[in-house]
């Protein structure tokens, strides 16, 4: 029998997902992306319930709306900067590129979440 696993390793040159740095970068990127998406979803639902009645004024003020609108971009910004800083601290080349990819992906998601959050800002 032929060893098919050897051939599949040749197709994935440079992509060694078994290295701890690559797994950590993937786990960190997905964790921050999930936290940002969850916060964005909850904030959109929360702001969607603000109709202007006096009973909801405590959770729908200008400062609360600003914090809800800017929370998800802040989470993604922290994750992106953290990942890029971690990429400069790594010695392994494949782990370094994985951290860079996670960081730039999180920063791109941050820009997307800012665009999605703009209509819910209180001064608009």
Domain boundaries, the chain: 21-120
**Helix (H), strand (E) counts: the chain:** 4, 0
Average pLDDT over residues 2-8: 53
- What pLDDT band is residue 22 in, cutting at 50, 70 and 90? confident
- pLDDT averaged over the chain? 81
For tokens 């050897």, name the residue: 6
Q: CA nearest 76: which of 122, 47, 43, 120?
A: 43
Dihedral angle computed from the Cα positions of residues 82, 117, 65 and 29, in that order, rounded to the nearest 10 degrees? -20
Contact 36, 76 (CB under 8 A): yes
State the pLDDT confidence band at 108, using cuts at 50, 70 and 90.
very high
Whether the pLDDT of residue 107 is over 60: the answer is yes
Q: At 56, is the pLDDT very low, low, confident or very high (cuts 50, 70, 90)?
A: low
Give the mean pLDDT of 75-93: 91
pTM: 0.78
38-42, 52-56, 100-104: the lowest-pLDDT one: 52-56
């Amino acid at each position: 029998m032929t060893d098919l696993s050897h051939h599949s390793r040749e197709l994935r040159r440079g992509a060694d997902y078994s290295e701890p740095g690559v797994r950590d970068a993937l786990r960190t990127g997905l964790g921050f992306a999930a936290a940002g998406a969850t916060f964005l979803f909850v904030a959109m639902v929360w702001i969607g319930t603000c109709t202007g009645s006096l009973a909801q004024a405590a959770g729908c003020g200008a400062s609360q709306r600003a914090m809800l609108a800017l929370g998800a971009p802040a989470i993604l910004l922290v994750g992106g900067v953290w990942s890029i800083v971690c990429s400069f601290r790594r010695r392994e080349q494949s782990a370094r590129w994985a951290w860079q990819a996670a960081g730039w992906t999180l920063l791109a998601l941050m820009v997307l979440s800012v665009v999605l959050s703009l209509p819910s800002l209180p001064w608009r």
